[in-house]
Structure 1
Amino acid sequence: MGEFDYDSLGICYWNGSMEPFVVGIIGSGPGVKALLDIVFVEDFREFLPDILLAAASHVARESDRALFDEINVPVYDRFEAMLDRHPEINLVVEMTGSPGLLETLRQRVGESISILDHREVAFFCGLHDMTLVKKHCMDSLAHQRSLLQSILDGIREDILLLDRAGNVVDLNRIVWERAGAQRKDLLGKPCWEAARLRDGSSFCSLMDPTCPYHRTLETGRPEEALVTRVSRDGLLQYYRLYAYPIFGVRGEMSHVMVMHRDITKRTLQERHQTQRDKLAIVGEMSTYLAHEIRNPLFVIGGFANTLLKSPDLTEANRGKVEIMLEESGRLEHMLTSMLNFVRASEARIGEVDMEAVCRDAAELMTIGYGGLGYAIEVRPSGALLPVLGDEDTLKQCVVNILKNGIEAMPGGGSVSMGLALNGDCVEVRVTDTGVGMDAVDLERVFNPFYSTKQGSSGLGLAMVRKKIDEFGGRVEIASKLGQGTTVSLFLPAATGEESAGCVTPSPSS
């Protein structure tokens, strides 16, 4: 809507160019305090032109005389003396209510001075009261606005108020603090310039067509969506996005409030628990199927071996039998891997020197890959505590991770293993410089039988996570395409005291 055209209504208003009113007051009473407020209090200035109080006369009330004395306004017994001593007066306010005095005053001043009698002063009193009410309402509104802003700023979710073009109208503190800007600098900007991940990196580069903001614009109803993002450090993060329509007084949708809720920690815990439940079912099925498959597989392998020893077997058929034996062996190996995966660990948990485990694993992998352009380095940081676990199992977990890292660098490269004490946990960070993974692979990387490598069973990282879980630890992975991958093992330190363990993800994960 455009600006209201007061001129079209013939309304007279001042623009500050007119001369100020110089006032002389005649009389006293309840209206004096209101008049003094109008003259001297800033809240009334927006309603009236500039007003200066020059003098007063016929002030009968001692309390009113005290008010005039306090503000150094001279008081005269007769209005004639007041007008003679103050020729600058151009407006006289008559408050006595005396018809005779008013008539004498009009004859005295003629047309040169404007007069307001006691009846017209009532309008000033009404203006005074309305201004006080307005000030009270504005103070209350400011208080409510400040309270609402404090509430919004205290909410840890990102909240943005957008117009119908997707530009920021308002936002809470956490948004502009993450963006590293002042609130005023983000107002009017497209929402993607304001929204950030926890680490301050951009939430999106342009207006995402899958954002519920668009659906709310179309439907006029609240909408929501689950999205994934990869942080600057390559960590997979989950966000629940909400969009709520804001309607104007006429019922039209004027704005959309968008909220980003970081549900990474909760989602990872839920998915981890869901995966555990699924694995329990898969374990029971795998044990049964492995038993049922192994019996005929054993028979097939036995007959194939017998055929292979037959002197009547032609070379062509011998090759076919060898393929049968090879595939039978591959199937047997897969069954063994499945059973090892689903069975609970029988390892005895004790105190393990994780630095020694990493150095042994690095030495083992260097023997096989050192001459092929791969370098493996162990980098402990500070004093470490022993961890709770089984040495052989932990070594196998580290070897599996190192093998994954090497396979992600087909042309050679380096793998580093950093060790550090992280609260009540010992953290082992295995970082490669390989091809990395995208958000889809990051989301599925711990799923059993999922692999990005041809010919792999997909049990490597799933097995690592299962074993580390059994020791009361956790596994985290961070990766970006073309920038390598970091797998972090968090293992409970053997402190001799009861601790919260390492199961709960860290705030930065």
Structure 2
Amino acid sequence: MEQSLRADKQYRIGLIGDKSSLVPFWELFASLGNERVMGRMGFQALALHEQAPTGGDFGNTLDLPVHQNWREMLAAHPDLNLVIETTGNLELLGELRRELPLNVSLVERSAASFFVRLLSTDQMWVACKLDLLHTQTLLKGIIDQLKEQILLVDAAGLVLDCNKAVQESQGLPKADIVGRPLRAFFPVLERHPGDGSEPPPLEQALVGRRPAEATLPHVDAQGLMHYTREYVYPIQDEAGQPRSFLCIRRDITSRTQMEQRLQQSERLASIGEMSTYIAHEIRNPLFAIGGFANQLLRNVSDPAAREKIEIIIEESKRLDSILKSILTFARPVEPGDGAADLNRIVRDTMELMGMACESKNIELVLGLAEDLPQVQAGPELLKQCLINLVKNSVEAMPQGGLLAVRSGMVGARVALEVEDTGQGIAPDLRDKVFSPFFSTKGRGSGLGLAMTKKILDDLGGTVELTSVPGAGTRVTLFLPPQLAVAKPQADG
């Protein structure tokens, strides 16, 4: 039964009627159908109910053979298996019911009109479906081309849909993403009670039912810091109630890095201006304080007084050391002439610092790549950068650990890497470690990493920091290699 209903039977149709009923019926059918459907319907001929000359002309409206009556039409077209009667004449209908062959079906005028309108509805539905599919394909193509991660989530924070950028970032097909919480794929850093920070945008929007946005930092599996701007917009229904939420995530790590560099440049400019004032207004009286304190120390024999004078001398020396660091930091870095052998600098420096590592139960590992090109930097500058990094790593491992110093090529740049197994750096401190005068040790000038970054910036290199709290820190210096450019010869 099911197969018979689904069978694609080919109908060969004949029309029966007069001119006043056939032409309007055909025009209605043609206006509601289309050329593809009309071609498949199988209209073969038409027969007149009223007397008319055989082959009578109906114009261009009906391009079918015309017969004088239905019997003549069936005789000329014995393959007809369906006839449509368009007049509604009861006498004619009775005649057709009695005399039509059993293999020819009869469709009366009212039933034919019903099927024509049903066909119109079906064709309209197909047209709407095609238009909807076209729009859906176009919209999906546009959204999938965007670099931003776009997700649709429900009121519980579960993913309803996502674009291609989300699937690529997670390495998962859409089927494995839909239905799971958004924060299972894009976690946020823990908030500490009382720190004054607001909830992430999605959580704000789910509670407040209003748009929200914020910059979210997170650390990837390699310990690299990323910054993402997250926008969340409620999608309201006809009653104005939010039923779902559109979440757009944009990676702004590069932009944030540029902003941080600009801010640091502004701070360095301020420090440069301040250093001139410090040199003239503080160093001279500091020199006088130290000189007079040394004179007093030679002339005083009271032990208590001598102890206090010694404290004055030590503190003045410490202040002078800080002052020298500030002046050195503010002074423009000169790259130096010629090129430097990075591996040789590493070996010489670590030979000097190896004893300090050994005394603190720190295992030192060198991994130096062979055939490295020389770098465009002064040896003393590179030595200063390496000492700063090693000192920080040693201080981060008070109970001992592993310190690895490696060199190699990364793309077209020479890389110097210092990695420790120390305490690591908390994510909220990553942005501050390269800032002048910032220190987590409670002592020192806080200029070590800031000076290292300044030297690399002036040399045309970059610094990359990766750290996992409790698992260690890795700082990589990327240096420009010395190019094989012929030097101009002096005129003889």
**TM-score normalized by the length of structure 1:** 0.77
Residue of structure 2 equivalent to 1:182: 173
Pick aligned residue for 2:469 from 458, 481, 484:
481
Residue of structure 2 equivalent to 1:214: 203
**Cα shift at 1:402:** 1.0
**Cα shift at 1:232:** 0.8
Does structure 1 residue 131 correspond to structure 2 residue 122? yes
State how 1:44-55 maps to structure 2 within 5 Å.
none
Structure 1 residue matching 2:431: 3-state secondary structure: helix
Residue of structure 1 equivalent to 2:353: 365
**Cα shift at 1:106:** 4.8
Equivalent-residue separation in structure 2 for 1:129 and 1:354 (angstroms): 81
The letter of the residue matching 2:402 is S
Residue of structure 2 equivalent to 1:308: 297
The letter of the residue matching 2:345 is V
The letter of the residue matching 1:212 is P
Greater Cα shift, 16-25 or 145-154: 16-25
Highest CA radius of gyration, 1 or 2?
2
1:381–1:140 Cα change, 3 Å = farther
What do residues 74-133 of structure 1 show as CA deviations (whole Å, max 9, x unaligned)?
x9827xx999xx9xxxxx763343623213235679xxx996422431232222223222
Task: Please report the RMSD computed on the Cα atoms of aligned residues, expressed in angstroms.
Answer: 3.6
Contact 1:35–1:124 (8 Å) recurs in 2 = no
Does structure 1 residue 456 correspond to structure 2 residue 444? yes
Contact 2:188–2:217 (8 Å) recurs in 1 = no
State how 1:41-440 maps to structure 2 within 5 Å.
77=74, 94-97=84-87, 99=89, 100-106=91-97, 116-195=107-186, 210-311=199-300, 313-381=301-369, 383-440=371-428
1:181–1:76 Cα change, 3 Å = farther
Equivalent-residue separation in structure 2 for 1:212 and 1:421 (angstroms): 41
Residue of structure 1 equivalent to 2:483: 495
1:237–1:190 Cα change, 3 Å = same
1:98–1:418 Cα change, 3 Å = same
Contact 2:85–2:108 (8 Å) recurs in 1 = yes
| Unaligned segments of structure 1, at least 5 residues | 1-15, 42-52, 66-74, 87-91, 196-201, 499-509
Equivalent-residue separation in structure 1 for 2:45 and 2:474 (angstroms): 91
Contact 1:402–1:430 (8 Å) recurs in 2 = yes
1:160–1:154 Cα change, 3 Å = same
Pick aligned residue for 1:447 from 419, 426, 435:
435
What do residues 405-449 of structure 1 show as CA deviations (whole Å, max 9, x unaligned)?
111111222221222222331111111111111102212110111
Residue of structure 2 equivalent to 1:8: none
| Residue correspondences, number | 443
**Cα shift at 1:334:** 0.9
Equivalent-residue separation in structure 2 for 1:261 and 1:57 (angstroms): 64
1:145–1:389 Cα change, 3 Å = same
Structure 2 residue matching 1:309: 3-state secondary structure: helix
1:106–1:204 Cα change, 3 Å = farther
- Percent pairwise identity: 36
Structure 2 residue matching 1:27: 3-state secondary structure: strand
The letter of the residue matching 1:297 is L
**Cα shift at 1:174:** 1.7
**Cα shift at 1:328:** 1.0
**TM-score normalized by the length of structure 2:** 0.80
The letter of the residue matching 1:171 is C
Greater Cα shift, 417-426 or 455-464: 417-426
The letter of the residue matching 2:179 is G
**Cα shift at 1:316:** 1.3
Residue of structure 1 equivalent to 2:490: none
